[in-house]
Every structure is written in structure tokens, then in C-alpha cells.
Amino acid sequence: MSFELETLDQLLGGNLSLKIVRMLYPDEHAFSQAVVGLLSCGDVRLLTADGAEVPRWQWKELFADGAVTVKLDQLQLQITDQGVQRIA
């Protein structure tokens, strides 16, 4: 199973912090590429700790410059209906 599909499978149980999601990947590059890909295609949403959705322009910046690594505890992923259908 690909890392992306494993991520979606894990998210079926509920939202996960990026700190937990990061542990599914072998390195920072693979993690960033996969999460941005899942976000870009609409399979997941990036949320703040209080549940607000992070705007697209902001998550692109977070992953592009690596700033996301210091915010792993403050951000979480939520699977979308599209993401559920992808692994159903």
C-alpha cells in the first residue's frame, strides 16, 4: 500500500495530528510531497488545532519552506468524502 493510501486509511479513524502522520513516512521529503499531494487533489483538509481549515495559500507556504516541521503538533489532517471514496 502506498504511503498516501496508508495515510487515508489511518484518517478513517478520525483526524490525526501531522506529528502522527509524519511517522508514516520514511523522511521529511516524502511526508511533505505526499501531504501536499493529498491536499492538492482534495482527499484531505489541513486544520488548525481548533478545527479551522488552513487556507490553500498558507499550506503551500508551510510545506514549501519546511515551516510545517515546527508546527506538527498544531496542525491536523481530516479526510474528505473524496478521500474516503478513494480507499473504499
Which CATH number belongs to the domain containing residue 34 in this structure? 1.10.10
pTM greater than 0.85: yes
List pLDDT tens digits, range 50-79. Answer: 999 999 998 878 888 777 888 889 999 999
Asked whether the beta carbons of 34 and 4 are under 8 A apart, the reply is: yes
The mean pLDDT of the chain is: 92
Query: Domain limits at 33?
Result: 3-87
- Mean per-residue pLDDT for 19-30? 94
List pLDDT tens digits, range 34-43. Answer: 999 999 999 9
The total number of structural domains that make up the chain: 1
User: Residue 25: what pLDDT?
Assistant: 96
User: Could you count the other beta carbons within 10 Å of the beta carbon of residue 32?
Assistant: 18
User: Residue 79: what pLDDT?
Assistant: 98
